[in-house]
Amino acid sequence: MLLSENIKGLLQETIKDAPLLEGKTPPIYTSMIITNRGSILWYVNNKTPETYNSSVTNLKMMALLIKDKWCEDKDSVPADTIHHFELEDLHIALSRIPDSDLLLVYIAGNEFPNGLLGLKLKYSLEAFRDLHGYRLAGN
């Protein structure tokens, strides 16, 4: 049985800063799990600058844009690939949770290097192993 508070707890861990050789990573603004239809299932927000609108309405719009971008790219690259793109001044990394209808998405500022954001996403996917194979009704 999937418990929402456990998944939100995992997402909360994903937005924590990671130590680097010198300092720590810039913050990840939002970590969320969306469906391949663009609906937000779970999300958490970090402390964000005033220029980042973390309202639910804005996140819903971003989830739809992210889903559209993923749909454009998914046929041209392997399913287990980390997808990167920019939306205004944001860096976005996403990946499909294996064998599921779910996408794990990280949103960070443009000061967060894309490669590092992708690595963080790649190594956190295993923490969501209970969601592997999760299918939406009707799919």
pTM comes to 0.90
Q: What is the CA radius of gyration of the chain?
A: 14
Q: Quick one: pLDDT at residue 79?
A: 64
Q: pLDDT tens digit string along 54-99?
A: 778 888 998 998 888 888 877 777 767 899 988 888 999 999 999 9
Q: Quick one: pLDDT at residue 49?
A: 81
Q: How far apart are CA 125 and CA 129, in angstroms?
A: 7
For residue 1, name the pLDDT band (cuts at 50, 70, 90): low
Structure tokens given for 67: 């889903």
Average pLDDT, the chain: 88
Q: pLDDT tens digit string along 4-16?
A: 888 999 999 999 9
Domains of the chain, CATH where assigned: 4-131 (3.30.450.30)
Identify which of 91, 96, 41, 88 has the alpha carbon closest to the alpha carbon of residue 63. Answer: 41
